[in-house]
């Protein structure tokens, strides 16, 4: 059955062929627009239409057998409802004086406001999570920068103190060297002075011995 035959099949039920054609067009257009927008259209007892994303993959050309890369794409998918499956499998019989698919209860079309609201709520939650993650990353970066700045400032403050301490140590070392040099210099002078005194003493002793010897010789 094609579209024209479908229109003819429902023309008597909706009041004419034109009305049937308009009804079929309106239903198909609504389904297509909802699925393209990412909504799921579900008709109780009949089935559901939805958009499915297929990731990139490799396939083979049936004519050449060559391996071909297929890009990521989205495709429509129809899933038959349980009532439709039961009628096709024969577990249920088609009603003679009633429609095979009964009217869907109000709000059963998931492509309506409820499904869109759910999608929007999910998108808001995802956005909120991303914003929270960004804030946490910014806080960590700021804390790390503050810590680095504190360490740098402490190091800079410590440097002048270290310089002053080193300068004091150098001054103390120089003063100690000067004091040692002063103490060593007088000692050398004293030693030098003592040496001539020893020589004079030796000369006096020698002179005394000579005088004593001369006196002894004269007595004899």
Which domains are assigned to the chain? 1-39 (no CATH), 43-92 (4.10.520.10)
Beta-bridge partner residues of 59: 68
Q: What is the DSSP string of 150-189?
A: HHHHHHHHHHHHHHHHHHHHHHHHHHHHHHHHHHHHHHHH
55-98 residue pLDDT tens: 999 999 999 999 999 999 999 999 999 989 999 999 888 888 77
Nearest to 30 by CA among 122, 82, 123, 104: 104
Angle (CA) 110-113-114 rounded to 5° is 60
Does residue 116 surpass a pLDDT of 70? no
Does residue 185 surpass a pLDDT of 60? no
Does residue 162 surpass a pLDDT of 90? no
What's the pTM? Answer: 0.44
87, 100 Cβ separation under 8 angstroms:
yes
170, 178 Cβ separation under 8 angstroms:
no
């Amino acid at each position: 059955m094609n579209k024209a035959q479908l229109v003819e099949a429902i023309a008597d039920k909706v009041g004419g062929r034109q009305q049937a054609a308009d009804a079929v067009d309106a239903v198909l257009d609504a389904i297509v627009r909802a699925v393209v927008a990412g909504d799921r259209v579900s008709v109780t007892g009949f089935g559901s239409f939805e958009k499915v994303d297929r990731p990139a993959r490799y396939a083979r050309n049936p004519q050449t057998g060559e391996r071909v890369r297929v890009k990521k794409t989205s495709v429509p998918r129809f899933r038959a409802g349980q009532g439709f499956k039961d009628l096709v499998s024969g577990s249920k019989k088609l009603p003679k004086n009633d429609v095979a698919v009964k009217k869907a209860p109000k709000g059963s079309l998931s492509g309506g406001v409820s499904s869109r609201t759910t999608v929007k709520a999910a998108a808001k939650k995802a956005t909120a999570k991303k914003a929270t993650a960004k804030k946490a990353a910014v806080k960590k970066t700021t804390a790390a920068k503050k810590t680095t700045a504190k360490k740098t400032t402490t190091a800079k403050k410590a440097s002048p103190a270290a310089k002053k301490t080193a300068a004091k140590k150098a001054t103390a070392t120089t003063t100690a060297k000067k004091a040692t040099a002063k103490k060593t210099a007088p000692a050398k002078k004293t030693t030098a002075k003592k040496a001539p005194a020893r020589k004079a003493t030796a000369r006096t002793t020698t002179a005394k011995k000579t005088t004593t010897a001369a006196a002894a010789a004269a007595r004899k």
